[in-house]
Amino acid sequence: MPLEHSLVTDDADFPKFTPLMFEAIHPSGFVDACWPNNLNAEMQKLHASGFVSHKSMDPTVTWTKVTDTETNEIIGVAQWLVLKDQKPPEYDFDGPPGTWENDTEKKYAQDIYRSFTRHRHEVIRNEDLPIVVLSIMTVHPKHQYRGVGTLLMQWGTNVADELNALSVVEATQAGRWLYEKSGFAVKHHYAIQGSGELDRGVTDRLFFMIRPRKSEK
């Protein structure tokens, strides 16, 4: 079945692909804390609106998608942050009103999001621009091993090479092989965990990976 890769330019696509994202990622303690009740249809709509709001406020954000042209179904998506001209401020993770049951759950989500992105922010602080961040990539479980991930990766790595950018990604064990195939190498193996009173134990273990600039290969 033919696959087509393209940019996400229509905000109406977000409610279509948000359910597949969470189905593909589940289970994940980190994701469940930052996007609670993410298998619930109404909450998926709320989280989709949060992705749209983030995209509209952050000019570095680009979403891309892979569509099965026979069914017109979006079967894979990626969110890229392309940092070219200036380094963005470091802000606390947030979501639309109603995302969390209470302030404690929101503070916990913000705390483990800082844990998730700590190596990313270290690179952004210390390295020269441009830098390309692969922030999210998911492929629907029913459509894995069809080359969807490769198509999603090619867009970002092509942009990185055109800009001579350093690239980074926080990878799961399942995704690591694809990123290695695309030129990334593991820099850190680390745990996502809350701090202080917000420590509820390790939620996930990830690999922080870096792809060198084209001029440095």
Q: What is the pLDDT of residues 7-26, one digit of tens each?
A: 999 999 999 999 999 999 88
Q: What residues contact residue 39 under an 8 Å CB cut-off, 6+ apart?
A: 22, 23, 26
- Find all residues with CB under 8 Å of 163, minimum gap 6, and list them: 82, 84, 130, 132
- CATH code for the domain of 50: 3.40.630.30
- 3 state SS of 40: coil
Provide the domain count of the chain: 1
Report pLDDT digits (tens) over 75-126. 999 999 999 999 988 889 999 999 999 999 999 999 999 999 999 999 999 9
Reply yes or no on whether the pLDDT at 1 is more than 80: no
Q: What percent of the chain has pLDDT over 90?
A: 92
Predicted TM-score (pTM) of the model is 0.94
